[in-house]
Chain A
């Protein structure tokens, strides 16, 4: 039954991911990416990771894609701009090298996946991955990372202002 939901969502994700790279218009690519993010959120729900699914929707599909769209609109790319780097002599060697590397890594990943002992996943408690469970452990055992994360966000905000504000001084 789970698989009945998993395969359509996974198929949709792969199709949309292909859409991201094959689309000639940047806005189209971005839209496909949003769709893919939402699909991934569905897969996370299937994995009992409800909180991650929520994050996926709020942060990725919501906030980060907004920034993507802004950047696309800021640049206002014309479709022809992408033709410039289609074929150069140097690219051929890079293509061959990277494909060899990619095939090697893929082989190893498949190899690893088959070798790994995936038959007996540990028994999970019913509440695993729910927002309440995540909240409890985040705010008791992981207090320190939580507070340190706010310093990280502070640093990021200073960075955004210092590097991106049009007039600083």
Chain B
């Protein structure tokens, strides 16, 4: 049985694990929601350039005083770090589509066994739109998904085959949940790390029966029981 974590613990644990997955010097775009938290946990010896699709290269944390003339993609105020650049949307998406980003971190409604991603439309219910997500999954060198393992209704989000309209086909590289980490290896979603107290069987029960499990299944990096 999986132990249910409270919302904040789950979200921060996901962000914490993702923050350990970048190389020094990487250029990274963070999506809205859990992905935004990732910047709080970057190790001190790793330097990341954060890009926001609305026009910043070199975005820093929220400043103490609100200034809406400098916002991030979620509409939250940001600061410009020394050496930052302000760009227009066409240039920003040129960077994204053109392969100039090392990674993007996005949320998900569904991810499936082939690394397909759905995160922009629930037909008949909600049509928020894809925003920049389709371009990001197409152009970024790595696509990292930050998501809880289950929906609010306790249904699996990591499934055999996406049922919702897709954002990108075979685009996902890594999926980090509060309980585990998956990587897409040779085109197949593979369970690679589990959090303390979590077994591969727990994850299979909450995803799909055919889930591939790495032979060298590891403990989730940087995560202890109290995180």
Partners in one complex: no
Question: A-contacting residues of B (Cβ < 8 Å)?
Answer: none
Chain A residues close to B by CB (< 8 Å): none
